Structure 1
Amino acid sequence: MLSLASHVGRNISRARKLRGITQEQLGEMVGQPQSYISRIERGEKNLSLETLEKISNSLGVDPDRLLIRFQREPSKLQAEREALVDKIVASLRDRKTKELKIIANLVTDVLKAIDSKD
């Protein structure tokens, strides 16, 4: 079983890569050198809650998304699904409330259409 530090590091790495951010860029965003980010992602460095918060804010991911699934490693399908959800959430973060309401209505309509085909 992976240690918590290794698990969090893998989640950070996945989220960073999904957003097309290098370790160096993430380091600049959180005020740490690339080598520090690398050690976190390899599970070699325990990070503080403050650093976890900076990283999650920089990646546009809720901190709990970096901590989930500690008990077991997700399957490839689960990891792909989680990456897609993270990508969707990241694309919505900076939208205005009015836009989010429109998007929510569209998603609801699309899901109803999909569900009605089953």
Structure 2
Amino acid sequence: MSKLSIHVGIRIRSLRKNRGLTQEQLGELVQLPQPYIGGIERGEKNISLETLERIIQVLHIDPSDLFNGFNLPTSKHEEYELFDSIQVLLQSCSEKELIIIKKLAQVIITENNKL
């Protein structure tokens, strides 16, 4: 198992879970069996670019999302997972809700910087 295969597999698992999909559901959407999806997520399978493209389309992500943080320490990987989970939540918000969330985030960051 290469370091890159493991990293991409971990990212796919995280992105899949943040979207509320099981391995079986992702497999159905990309036309692959669940055990194969599990092998990808564990970094055990070398997947084709075609398969990678189908996964990217189903997860509605940019290809770079799978490679971000490759050379970063493990603690930074958790930040990527948090950013993605927040992004998924925000996608279902209205413009009005997004404006409120932005203002709240600005207040929280400003107050936190004062501490």
TM-score range relative to shorter protein = 0.7 to 0.9
Q: CA deviation at 1:12?
A: 0.9
Residue ranges of structure 1 left out of the alignment (5+ in a row) = none
When the two structures are superposed, what TM-score results if normalisation uses the length of structure 1? 0.73
Q: CA deviation at 1:53?
A: 4.1
1:55 matched to which residue of 2? Answer: 55
Q: CA deviation at 1:27?
A: 0.9
2:31 matched to which residue of 1? Answer: 31
1:109 matched to which residue of 2? Answer: 107
When the two structures are superposed, what TM-score results if normalisation uses the length of structure 2? 0.75
CA contact (8 A) 1:60 1:90 kept: no
Pairwise CA RMSD: 2.6
Mapping for residues 17-96 of structure 1, pairs under 5 Å: 17-43=17-43, 44-48=45-49, 50-72=50-72, 74-75=73-74, 77-96=75-94
**Secondary structure, counterpart of 1:21 in structure 2:** coil
Runs of 4+ in 1 over 6 A off after TM superposition: none
CA contact (8 A) 1:7 1:67 kept: yes
Identity of aligned residues (%): 42
Q: CA deviation at 1:8?
A: 0.7
Residue ranges of structure 2 left out of the alignment (5+ in a row) = none
Q: CA deviation at 1:37?
A: 1.3
